[in-house]
Amino acid sequence: MKAAVVRSSGELAVSEVPEPVPGPGQVLVDIDAIGVGYVDVMARRGEYPYFPGEGAVPGLEAAGRVTAVGPDAPEGLAGQRVLALPAFGGYAEKVVVDADRVLPAPRGADAADVVGLGVNALVAEVALHRAAVAAGERVLVRGAGGGIGVHATRIAHARGAEVTVVTSSPARGERLRALGAARVVDRTQSAVPEETYDVVVDTVAGPELGEHLGLLRPNGRYVLCGGAGGVPGPESFGPLLSDFHKSPTLFALSLNSVSPEDLRLSWERITALLAEGRLSAVLDRRFPLTEAEAALRRVESGKVFGKVVLLPR
């Protein structure tokens, strides 16, 4: 089968590789669409701890059909259309994945839409669920035009929150307003918003993390979901002590540590929002698998709005 493999230069090249075989508790998925995320950029730069590097195939999410079931995996998965969340290997025509890391594709959604929700909607939904965002609360989303950010904006709005987004241009701000943002902060004009928030969903981190942490209202919750702006220094966490009287909460969220049961429950809530028309995939561009390098560069450029998708055929 074809797969995009990381070369010694760090670039991706599509090559013929052996077809994977599902082991105990695993299934084989024939892939129709692959999600490309910033995490793949970090992986190929050697900034993601679990990625083996040269010779490995990136890709943490793919949509397709289960075509083989390994020993001890549920037989009922055979033939099902699914969202697969493999531990890498997704930039390929086929991937093996643990059976408890596949979720049912929503009825009527095509494969690109399934990955257009995928990991990003799961991160956004679990973040807002764990932060227990309530109607009427004020939510700030950093990295709002990115893959996770667009869903965080939409889902926070669907939960009845008043959403402010931080983004990088008026045009992106307008698109985010259409997804439910009540206010837009253009980070190219002002580095940090001036108001305070009950919940911050942050996919950027970077040197301005501390200033954003300082925007929490009393009993506010700050969910750190990613680091598209780089790793912040220890001084960024100062507001946790200087604002002690406000009882701030900071928690990190990685889907890696979310249990299969919590993933399933979150996916059910996402599927329900989809069915109600209150959530949809936001697709940036589609590339053929043979142009995986170009797709990754597009994500690396920071100019994506929503999800970049690879199509294996």
Ligand X SMILES: NC(=O)c1ccc[n+]([C@@H]2O[C@H](COP(=O)([O-])OP(=O)(O)OC[C@H]3O[C@@H](n4cnc5c(N)ncnc54)[C@H](OP(=O)(O)O)[C@@H]3O)[C@@H](O)[C@H]2O)c1
Residue 104's H or E segment, with its range, is strand 102-104
Is 232 among the residues that bind ligand X (CB under 6 A)? no
Interface pick for ligand X out of 14, 84, 85, 123 (rule CB under 6 A): 123
Is 302 among the residues that bind ligand X (CB under 6 A)? yes
Interface pick for ligand X out of 33, 144, 279, 309 (rule CB under 6 A): 144
Is 103 among the residues that bind ligand X (CB under 6 A)? no
Q: Helix, strand, coil: what percent of the chain each, to 5? A: 30, 30, 40
Which range, of 14-22, 72-80, 82-90, 225-233, touches ligand X by CB under 6 A? 225-233
Interface pick for ligand X out of 25, 74, 168, 280 (rule CB under 6 A): 168
Is 210 among the residues that bind ligand X (CB under 6 A)? no
Spell out the long-range contacts of 175-184 with Cβ–Cβ below 8 A and sequence spacing 24 or more.
Answer: 175/145, 175/305, 176/144, 176/145, 176/150, 179/150, 179/153, 179/154, 179/282, 180/153, 180/154, 180/156, 181/141, 181/144, 181/153, 181/157
Interface pick for ligand X out of 34, 38, 137, 209 (rule CB under 6 A): 38
Is 118 among the residues that bind ligand X (CB under 6 A)? no
Is 37 among the residues that bind ligand X (CB under 6 A)? yes
For 16, other C-beta atoms within 10 Å of its C-beta total 9
CA distance 277 to 48: 35
| Binding-site ranges for ligand X (CB under 6 A) | 37-39, 42, 119-120, 123, 143-149, 166-168, 172, 187, 203-204, 206, 225-229, 253-255, 299, 302, 304
